[in-house]
Amino acid sequence: MTDYNFAYLDEQTKRMIRRAILKALAVPGHQVPFASREMPMPYGWGTGGVQVSAACLVPEDRLKVIDQGADDTTNAVSIRRFFEKTAGVATTGRTSEATLIQTRHRIPEEPLTRDQILVYQVPIPEPLRFLEPRETETRKMHALEEYGLVHVKLYEDIARHGQIATSYAYPVKVEGRYVMDPSPIPKFDNPKLESEAIQLFGAGREQRIHALPPHCQVVSLDFEDHPFEASKADHDCDLCGSGTSYLDEVIVDDAGGRMFVCSDTDYCETRRGAGHLGRLAATRQEDAA
Amino acid sequence: MYVAVKGGERAIENAHAWLAEERRGDPSVPELSLAQIREQMALAVNRVMAEGSLYDPDLAALAIKQARGDLIEAIFLIRAYRTTLPRLGASVPVETANMRCDRRISATFKDAPGGQVLGPTFDYTHRLLDFKLAAEGEVPAAAKAAAPQSGPVPHITDFLNRDGLIQAEERHDATPPDLTREPLEFPANRALRLQSLTRGDEGFVLGMAYSTQRGYARNHAFVGELRIGRVPVEMEIPELGFSIEIGEVELTECETVNQFAGSKTEPAQFTRGYGLVFGQTERKAISMALVDRALRWRELGEDNLGAPAQDEEFVLSHADNIQATGFLEHIKLPHYVDFQSELELVRRLRAEAEAAAQEAAE
Amino acid sequence: MTPLLQVKGLTKRYGARIGCADVSFDLYPGEVMGIVGESGSGKSTLLNCLAGHLEADSGAVMFDTRAEGLRDVRAMSEPERRMLARTDWAFVHQNPRDGLRMGVSAGGNVGERLMAVGARHYGDIRAQAQDWLGRVEIAADRIDDRPTAFSGGMQQRLQIARNLVTGPRLVFMDEPTGGLDVSVQARLLDLLRGLVREMGLSAVIVTHDLAVVRLLAHRLMVMKSGHVVEAGLTDQVLDDPQHGYTQLLVSSVLQA
């Protein structure tokens, strides 16, 4: 496709987005407004992530796109094809081979390196939004570091449920300053937010970019006597046997039968390739054949 | 089984092919041409241009055809296309007093210089299905105006303004902010609010306007003037040193005359709301004027009644149907990772509650 | 002794109308100042200007800060003012709905100020909330109920607990007993008097009810049309009013 500029956006727009990204990296966890463009995919479907990726991509890049941890979910396919068409960059399913990974809702299991950029799609970047709907007010709360309300929400959870009842989009404090929403990743992924890679968060509809530079301190909010816990299903992967990766629960028949498999498809395949087998790996092989 | 979520790539291709087939419908029925849509579905075309923020009837017709008549989808296509267009410059502000009016009515005066022109309106038609149209009959030609109106048609609110009866609008020559090039930040100024409203969803703006009429920040609006017609668009060409006409656009402009305001220091006068929309889109233009007026409470020293139409953040954050529809429909996307973590949480909470109940029973 | 609060020439106008004009007074630690007057006398305007909810046109509100001694609150930056508002100051609204989070449990309401200043131990926060609910005579088993389930008097007591939990040095109260039944008022007054004595609270209380100031205030200012017309020790002013308006007020001809 030659009708469009490299990676769809014009250079002027990319420059504007890059400025927002640099500012976001300079003030970790702070939401930087940017003039989000109307993209050829709907708002809420990754327009923020796509714009951030477009502003970062260079022709030599190798791109990986995941949604729910998988490379072949429909929206991941759609976004990958968009960049294949508009940027002509190489793509990959391998986490270790990718130079830029765009993700929705997951952080890959394999630790990222200093040569990688992880771009998150963000629906609502404001961690205080559901406590205070007004943008004018939440911006003031961030500016003045008035975060008491966030803990009131956690307090209410414990008072009602005996534990903090937030299982994804779990709020974090960055470098002891800004409270940040890490996008709707399961809280299992929160510890991975402290990373060697650059992490960029793009919210298209809400016109905000925030970022975590490498090795940035990211603390999940909690109470001393109710510490944060990165939980997952209490099973091993039925395909690769991993006991430490985040699992999807798949219903396999009408009788309530189910299996648990890695949500990170690349991680699972790599392990199986190396000979690790889970409980149902054999039956699965037969199915495939 | 597990493969259910696999094969995304092929599924997408198949879905697109099927969509194309459905779009065409029964192949024994002749295909719609863009010209047919542009000429015979003109009000749909107008809406797509207005909310798509791009004045191009042919592209709007194409978008409507491609979207199978789903106007919000068509608006979306236009918006996405608009993003890719280079920005050559800005026109000189259009002068609506120089409009060649097809329609011009005032509810506040029986007659006015320039006259009332009913124009091509649904008003006063009886809403009876016209089966002659089903028979695809020819329409008798409409009577032509005796003498086409020429020269500027003054705005009716100018007559009120001359006597100081209506609040004067201050002239601003500053370049207004551009909603499509800068992030929307609050508080917004009036120029930004008007931009947001003119491309806002017709249904949303209509609902907001209606709510003011029903008492949620009522502001007693009369249509001071509604005019529809064509205005020339001029652009300054730096090399030439003067502006030249580059084309014309059809616009609908509505000025409302609202409840008088006054205080101990200021004598009573009428206030105004303003609506300006691409194409013949009068429902939208009137709605826009009412909502504009409601949002001006602070500037006019009125009370904040807590009504939705007075709430700038609420109105501007939710008026855009492309933002709204995208976010609404994104809940169709897979969310199973988050759902899984919720599932585990609920299971854990239930297990704990059960254990506690058992303990209590023992 | 340094006054805790020193107000000098505080003036607020609404266009041509006077909200309050040229008000000056000192408040010393442990002292309760009552401000009385009928509706429209400017007492609520004054209180809101003191607490920073309204911006005064001129004058100074000096507060004896912990770190730097007397400072003009009006000249502070917004972060400093907001910090003061959630640590050393407290504000009890007439309508408890204005001072409570109605969607948050009683315990959460009391705990919020603790968490806002950095408390991060759930058990401790809850224990303190529990303690304070007890001090304002709310049963311990109501800790997880929302204020919407409380009576008006309970809501007002909860608001007081929420304000006092961080041990503020200065409390502003706007008609704290307004809108309550007479019997409920008496109980609340009793409670307030106990807390004021026990904690050695400094407070500025606005009310139109002379019984409230008689019981709580050491000193009194009487306001009329935005001006202070008489000030002095509570008993002195109430038992031997000098100004004609005060005499009228005391003879309870005036009811707001």
> What pLDDT digit, counting tens, does each position of C91-145 carry?
999 999 999 999 999 999 999 999 998 999 999 999 999 999 999 999 999 999 9
Q: Which residues of A touch B11 (CB under 8 A)?
A: 74
pLDDT of B327: 94
Nearest chain B alpha carbon to C17: B264
The chains in contact with chain B, meaning 3 or more Cβ pairs closer than 8 Å, are A, C
**Residue of A49, A202, A262, A278 marked active site:** A262
pLDDT of A2: 52
Greatest CA separation for chain C: 56
Residue A56 annotated as catalytic = no
pLDDT of B241: 87
Q: Which residues of B touch C18 (CB under 8 A)?
A: none
pLDDT of A231: 86
Q: Which residues of C touch A164 (CB under 8 A)?
A: none
Q: What is the dihedral of CA B75, B78, B80, B84, to 10 degrees?
A: -160
Residue A268 annotated as catalytic = yes
Label each residue of chain A as H, E or C: CCCCECCECCHHHHHHHHHHHHHHHHCCCCCEECCCCCCCCCCCCCHHHHHHHHHHCCCCCEEEEEECCECCCHHHHHHHHHHHHHCCCEECCCCCCCCEEEEECCCCCCCCCCCCEEEEECCCCCCCCCCCCCHHHHHHHHHCCCCHHHHHHHHHHHHHHCCCCCCECCCEEECCCEEECCCCCEHHHHHHHCCCCEEEEEECCCCEEEEECCCCCEEECCECCECCCCCCCCCCCCCCCCCCCCEEEEECCCCCCEEEEECCHHHHHHHHHCCCCCCCHHHHHHHHC
A138 to chain C nearest CA, in Å? 14
Kindly state the average pLDDT of the residues C38-66: 92
Of A198-212, B65-79, C77-91, minimum mean pLDDT range: C77-91
Contact A152 C125 (CB under 8 A): no
Residue A237 annotated as catalytic = yes
| Residue among C78, C79, C105 whose CB faces A156 most closely | C105
What tokens appear for A162 in the block?
Answer: 């005996």
Query: Does residue C226 sit at the A interface (CB-CB below 8 Å)?
Result: no
Nearest chain B alpha carbon to A38: B80
Q: Are A65 and A48 in contact (CB under 8 A)?
A: no
Contact C116 A224 (CB under 8 A): no
What tokens appear for A227 in the block?
Answer: 């510490």
The chains in contact with chain A, meaning 3 or more Cβ pairs closer than 8 Å, are B, C
The CA angle A94-A96-A99, to the nearest 5 degrees, is 95
Residue from B209, B195, B172 nearest B276 by CA: B195
pLDDT of B3: 37
**Residue of A29, A46, A48, A93 marked active site:** A29
Q: Which residues of A touch B337 (CB under 8 A)?
A: 68-69, 105-106, 168, 185-186, 246, 248, 263
C116 to chain A nearest CA, in Å? 4
C-alpha to C-alpha distance for A272 and A269, rounded to whole angstroms: 5
**pLDDT tens by residue, B28-67:** 999 999 999 999 999 999 999 999 999 999 999 999 999 9
Q: What per-residue string of b and e applies to B207-241 under the rule 16 or more CB within 10 Å gives b?
A: ebbebbeeebbbbebebbbbbbbebbbbeeeeeee
Question: Is residue A288 scored above 60 in pLDDT?
Answer: no
Q: What is the pTM of this model?
A: 0.84
C-alpha to C-alpha distance for C119 and C139, rounded to whole angstroms: 24
| Residue among B181, B183, B334 whose CB faces A67 most closely | B334
Of A67-71, A87-91, A282-286, B109-113, minimum mean pLDDT range: A282-286
Q: Which residues of C touch B263 (CB under 8 A)?
A: 15
Residue A29 annotated as catalytic = yes
Kindly state the average pLDDT of the residues B264-289: 90
Nearest chain C alpha carbon to B301: C15
With a pLDDT cut of 70, the percent of chain A lying above it is 96
**pLDDT tens by residue, B140-172:** 778 776 555 667 888 888 888 888 888 888 888
Q: Which residues of C touch A152 (CB under 8 A)?
A: 101, 104, 108, 111-112, 115
**pLDDT tens by residue, A208-225:** 999 999 999 999 999 999
Q: Are A106 and A263 in contact (CB under 8 A)?
A: yes
Nearest chain A alpha carbon to B79: A38
Contact A225 C104 (CB under 8 A): no
pLDDT of C159: 96
For chain B, what are the domain ranges?
2-82, 96-119+150-325
What ipTM was estimated for this complex? Answer: 0.88
Say if residue A33 is preceded by a cis peptide, omega within 30 of 0: no
Question: Is residue A244 scored above 50 in pLDDT?
Answer: yes
